[in-house]
């Protein structure tokens, strides 16, 4: 079982691998079985860097959105406390104010501000 000598033409396709070697260009180009060219090292590194940048951008956007969500949550919480304070000033009990604010009320925080002005 020795090596077979092959005549080099403009291109040659490996019968076992299905890859094509194109000798008509300099440097030689190698094509995958689906006829897409294999990338050289520099091209692979360029694609890798582009993907890293995309991932970094996506991570930054995710962090920004998380910050916006947290800011909105805090703003909503402050609004609820303000409304709760107003309800308490109107004479509602802590329980009534908590029920008025719904299932996501601030009952434990209402007790701490009961009797405190709303500041508005």
pLDDT in tens, 57-108: 999 999 999 999 999 999 998 998 898 889 889 998 888 888 888 766 555 5
- The pLDDT, as a whole number, for residue 30 is 94
pLDDT digits (tens, 9 = 90+) for 50-65: 999 999 999 999 999 9
| Global confidence as pTM | 0.52
Domain range summary for the chain, segments of one domain joined by +: 17-113
Predicted confidence (pLDDT) per residue in 23-52, tens digit = 888 888 999 999 999 999 999 999 999 999
Sheet harboring 11-13: ordered strands across? Answer: 11-13, 20-22, 29-31
């Amino acid at each position: 079982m020795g090596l077979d000598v092959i005549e080099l033409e403009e291109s040659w396709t490996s019968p076992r691998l299905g890859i094509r070697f194109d000798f008509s260009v300099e440097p030689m180009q190698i094509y995958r079985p689906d006829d897409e060219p294999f990338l050289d090292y520099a091209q692979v590194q360029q694609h890798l860097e582009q993907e890293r940048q995309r991932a970094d951008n996506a991570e930054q956007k995710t962090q920004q959105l998380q910050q916006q969500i947290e800011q909105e949550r805090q703003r909503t919480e402050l609004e609820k406390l303000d409304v709760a304070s107003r309800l308490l000033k109107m004479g509602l009990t802590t329980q009534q104010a908590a029920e008025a604010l719904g299932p996501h009320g601030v009952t434990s925080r209402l007790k701490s501000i009961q009797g405190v002005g709303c500041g508005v």
